[in-house]
Homo-oligomer: A and B are copies of this chain.
Amino acid sequence: MKKLEELTHLLSNELSFIDLPASPSNLYDPLRYFLTLGGKRIRPILTLLGAELFNAKADKAIPAALAVEVFHNFTLIHDDIMDEAPLRRNKATVHHKWNQNIAILSGDVLFVKAYQLIAKQDPKHLPDLIQLFNKTAIEVCEGQQMDMDFESREDVSIAEYIEMIRLKTSVLLGCALELGAIVANASENDRKHLYDFGQHIGIAFQIQDDILDLYADPEKFGKQVGGDVIANKKTLLNIKGFSLANEEQKTELKNLYNSSDFNHKVARTRELYILVGARTSCEEEMQKHYSQAMKALAEISVDEGRKSDLIQLADSLMVRIS
């Protein structure tokens, strides 16, 4: 989709122009580095498409779009510290390349930059933009905390897991779209439907990610297949697997947790999740949210033709499974 590539390029370019002073270099060099690590810039593209959907020029929503991307990068810098991740997009994370204190503080300053970008939009939209942005930022933090809490819990329910991914990753997609809709003076009803579209696409995408981690074609996937299983990570597959397994299968799954033969561990877990119906159940859950997204999009009171970019973008996110 040529348009998406163009928007990715436009936004990466705009990001490189964000005003960052030279000094203190230990505060701003990490940000110059991190903001140019690349990525598909899906979130800010959503903001631009959200504005276009309601007949505004994409240009009009660029500050809000950049704010979303900058906020997303802030959360990545802090999450990488919490996850002790050495790499992000195959490059050293900020806390790894500099140090942890610098990562905390440059993350903080990046967060303020997001608000500075939002504040560049027309003052008449500011109360709505800020309110949505604040609410979303808090939810993203709540989702990250739930994710961390889940690490030490054995009784995470399916509903709790879906709520965690909704907060941690999906509300930001809804927010990104709605910010664009606010800039384009969309009605509250339309704004809400567009937000729901983004939120459900986000949940579907995240479930797909869980499934792909174990069932993707290794040659197409680009990262180690089964990484979540090897790390005994809580995913929807894992939670559904245990909830659907009989006692014997549960024991086998638990024993696999401690297996040091990773090839066997991944292969057998993959089989078991199919046998107990976890894979199918996850795919159904994913499909349910995809359908809810499309239903929300259908509710929006603009010509169907105007929705094609969003449908294409959603489909481009979801086709990775086959």
Q: Which A residues have a C-beta under 8 Å from some C-beta of B?
A: 24, 26-27, 78, 81-82, 101-102, 104-105, 108-109, 111-113, 115-116, 119, 123, 126-127, 130-131, 134, 137-138, 141-142, 144-146, 148-149
Contacts and interface: CB of A to CB of B under 8 A. Distances in A.
A141 B112 contact: yes
B78 A141 contact: no
Contacts of A144: 105
Nearest to A121: B127
B127 A119 contact: yes
Given A26-B145, A109-B141, A134-B112, A104 B119 contact: no
Report, nearest first, the 8 A-B pairs whose CB atoms are least far apart: A27-B145, A24-B145, A82-B101, A109-B141, A112-B137, A123-B127, A116-B134, A119-B130
Copies in the complex: 2
A42 B158 CA distance: 47
B126 A130 contact: yes
Interface on chain A toward B: helix, strand, loop, or mixed SS? helix
A113 B138 CA distance: 8
A43 B126 CA distance: 26
A27 B134 CA distance: 16
17 contacts: A24-B149, A78-B108, A82-B104, A102-B145, A102-B148, A104-B104, A105-B144, A105-B145, A105-B148, A112-B134, A112-B137, A112-B141, A115-B134, A119-B127, A119-B130, A126-B126, A126-B130
Contacts of A131: 119
A137 B111 CA distance: 10
B111 A82 contact: no
Contacts of A82: 101, 104-105
Interface centre among A105, A111, A119, A127 (most CB of B within 10 A): A105
A27 B142 contact: yes
A227 B104 CA distance: 27
A101 B27 CA distance: 20
Contacts of A78: 104-105, 108
Interface centre among A104, A126, A144 (most CB of B within 10 A): A104
Given A111-B111, A119-B127, A148 B104 contact: no
